[in-house]
């Protein structure tokens, strides 16, 4: 007599179906978790590889990679310079008008 037969005789067919559905649900969750772990591991490996090739400061070479932080600061500096230049232009034009 198999474990399935023993379970069915003890608990009935209806509970056996519920048990099988619960097992299937758990197996699906395990598969999703394993897939997520593999994805996370792959991303971590890529990030670790990039850390070794990035330059930590901004302007050390034209064709070299920059870190995201250095790139962000470069963009911020350009943005600040543009707004500063715009303000200076407004001041100059006001002086000319008045």
SS3 64: coil
Question: Is 83 a domain residue?
Answer: yes
Backbone dihedral angles phi then psi of residue 54, each to the nearest 5 degrees: -80, 155
Task: Extract the tokens encoding 93.
Answer: 């034009």
Question: Is 61 a domain residue?
Answer: no
- What are the pLDDT digits (tens) for 29-81? 999 999 999 999 999 999 888 766 655 555 555 555 555 555 555 666 666 66
Q: How many CB atoms lie within 10 A of CB 38?
A: 10
Top pLDDT among 13 and 66 is at 13
Nearest CA-CA partner of 67 in 77, 78, 52, 80: 52
Predicted TM-score (pTM) of the model is 0.40
In this structure, the answer to whether residues 18 and 42 fall within a common structural domain is yes
Range of the domain at 86: 66-98
In this structure, the answer to whether residues 39 and 7 fall within a common structural domain is yes
Confidence of residue 9 (pLDDT cuts 50, 70, 90): confident
In this structure, the answer to whether residues 75 and 48 fall within a common structural domain is no
Residue 22 has a pLDDT of 94
Residue 33 has a pLDDT of 96
């Amino acid at each position: 007599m198999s474990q399935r037969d023993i379970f069915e005789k003890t608990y009935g067919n209806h509970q056996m179906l519920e048990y099988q559905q619960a097992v299937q649900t758990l197996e699906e969750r395990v598969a999703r978790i394993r897939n997520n772990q593999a994805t996370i591991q792959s991303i971590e490996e890529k990030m670790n590889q990039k850390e070794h090739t990035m330059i930590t400061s901004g302007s050390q070479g034209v064709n070299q990679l920059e870190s995201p932080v250095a790139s962000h600061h470069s963009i911020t500096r350009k943005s600040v310079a543009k707004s500063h230049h715009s303000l200076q232009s407004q001041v100059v034009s006001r002086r000319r008008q008045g």
